[in-house]
Structure 1
């Protein structure tokens, strides 16, 4: 059982002070807690005092607002802009760094990847907090969604860092091929191969940042995660996000990619694959922790990927 007051825990990273079911124009920099509280109070006051004069937006307007809000959340929580990433793609490879990672000891490589993953997941949690409706869910449901979906969202974000022409990923400040992450363990090699394969297949669809953001929100707000209580509410949020994703994709990818398969169809069919890879990760991590119980992973990593529960 996780303590709510535990520092670095999922609970402390998703404090329930934001009412993000109300669509607002997000500023270019995050607001302070007090500013958010003031905004929420103002919205609640207006909704109570002036409800007769409020005109509800139509479904198309809701989708547009949803797309804008989620896209803004994605932009504000990505570690690097696409411009920076593509600039790094063009830099000459540092062979010494490549050899450094290829020669890294097995346990050391796991801890290195866990640290990088934890940094990305901290941003994913911030993204989730800004997805409309997420902070209105019960804290238990927020935690279930984050524990179940954070690795999947990390794979989706990884697609931004893949250079398809070089078949390499930007890892920190180094371009690394897939085999730099291989170990002698068969299960771990399968995990790495699957992560690269699905991330590459997403990158090949050439999604815009808004489309990638909406797809991430769609995966996050999966109402069929085991242990959820507010399934109806999460289901409604999920349907709204999928509707916005479809509209965005129809606008930018009107032609089917193969036969009558649309880009949206292709993305939605990858969701079961993402879940399978997440399970592969848990299995490989559990095996490692049983063989090397002395390894100390980052606190947030331990909490999200608890192999004991």
Structure 2
């Protein structure tokens, strides 16, 4: 009987043995399910022999055959004898085909991929940041343009109001009353109303030029067709004018102060328009003043009023909507910067739009009577044009 030889110990095997001893002891219950031997947890990682074998079988699409009808015992000592049974057992113990198809990603490749992903994310982030900055710059350009236009073409700004000197004024005209007559006849009342209307038109006319010049400087407004520009200016003028004049309404003294300093009483305005309309007008202006908007914000708001896309007769409503959208964004930014503690202010500002629209509609209804009486008065041509009132021929001749 031959003596049993012990293992030949070499320097390399000694090092391997010492290295193995440094690995924490694995419980005896933890066995490799393929080799049926005690193994360290790393033995079943993507670099282990069983995984490499499974990967070769899948990647190379090898069709193995078993000479023992697939009944080979796969253990550590004979695992290379039957590749069919070895691969079969790899799959049987739960190894996924997908998990071994590509194997472990090399460190360098993984680093390159991570760097590529990081670079892509960084580039995307930079592009998004650049797009955001460009959009904000565009909004600031709108704010600057409107601010300059408003200060240049509005007589009612904080600085200009300081130079306005109030003076008493009246719209009333002297009408001869026959001796013994105690009150006006209906005919005389109509004449008086028409004369007062002419006086009011004279006070309002300078503001028409201002609104027209302001409109020309609203970004992209000049790109609209001439017809659409005229429609927006004509139908929006009263609302823009009243927004500007809101600061000039004195609810304590019940007067409206015009840009030349003329103080017109609420009672006289009620004769020209109607008591209910003037009450609504004073209420809306008072509420607007309570918002405490500065000149730039008022300019942006009047720009939004100007670019109202549902004015009757417009041909390119989409272009008008784009103009208004840019102004709304600009006003949103401006209000958030200047009134950061007032959360609901912007919503309150927008709520003034339908109120003004209602007043504009009522004002247009009041104009019907004056349009029917056009031949009895001499309105300033520009005032008559803005409200589509026929011009008196004698007045037009005198103007030329």
Alignment pair present for 1:284 and 2:366:
yes
Alpha carbons of structure 1 residues 58 and 253: separation in structure 2 relative to 1, 3 Å:
same
Give me the whole-angstrom Cα distance separating, in 1, the residues matched to 2:372 and 2:380. Answer: 17
Instruction: Find the counterpart in structure 2 of residue 3 from structure 1.
Output: none
Q: Please show how residues 186-265 of structure 1 align to structure 2 within 5 Å.
A: 188-256=274-342, 262-265=344-347
Deviation at 1:127, TM superposition (A): 0.1
Which of 359, 362, 376 aligns to 1:294? It is: 376
Instruction: Find the counterpart in structure 2 of residue 146 from structure 1.
Output: 233
Give me the whole-angstrom Cα distance separating, in 2, the residues matched to 1:292 and 1:238. Answer: 35
Deviation at 1:222, TM superposition (A): 1.1
SS in 1 for 2:291: coil
| Greater alpha carbon shift after TM alignment, 238-247 vs 280-289 | 280-289
Instruction: Find the counterpart in structure 2 of residue 65 from structure 1.
Output: 141
Give me the whole-angstrom Cα distance separating, in 2, the residues matched to 1:299 and 1:264. Answer: 38
Instruction: Find the counterpart in structure 2 of residue 134 from structure 1.
Output: 221
Alignment TM-score, normalising by the size of structure 2 = 0.55
Instruction: Find the counterpart in structure 1 of residue 98 from structure 2.
Output: none
**Which 4+ stretches in 1 moved above 6 angstroms?**
none
Instruction: Find the counterpart in structure 2 of residue 35 from structure 1.
Output: none
Instruction: Find the counterpart in structure 1 of residue 388 from structure 2.
Output: 306
Instruction: Say if 1:286 and 1:307, in contact at 8 Å, map to a contact too.
Output: no
Deviation at 1:292, TM superposition (A): 6.1
Instruction: Say if 2:195 and 2:377, in contact at 8 Å, map to a contact too.
Output: no
Residues 126-172 of structure 1 deviation map (CA, whole Å, 9 limit, x = unaligned):
00001110101111111111111111100111023234665533223
Deviation at 1:290, TM superposition (A): 2.4
Instruction: Find the counterpart in structure 2 of residue 121 from structure 1.
Output: 208
Residues 226-254 of structure 1 deviation map (CA, whole Å, 9 limit, x = unaligned):
21111112111111110000110111122
Give me the whole-angstrom Cα distance separating, in 2, the residues matched to 1:255 and 1:226. Answer: 38
Instruction: Find the counterpart in structure 2 of residue 82 from structure 1.
Output: 158
Q: Please show how residues 84-99 of structure 1 align to structure 2 within 5 Å.
A: 84-88=160-164, 94=167, 97-98=168-169
Residues 163-191 of structure 1 deviation map (CA, whole Å, 9 limit, x = unaligned):
466553322313344224221x7x62222
Q: Which stretches in structure 2 are left out of the alignment for 5+ residues?
A: 1-129, 175-191, 391-400
Alignment TM-score, normalising by the size of structure 1 = 0.71
Instruction: Find the counterpart in structure 1 of residue 32 from structure 2.
Output: none
Once superposed, what is the RMSD of the aligned Cα atoms?
Answer: 2.5
Instruction: Find the counterpart in structure 1 of residue 112 from structure 2.
Output: none
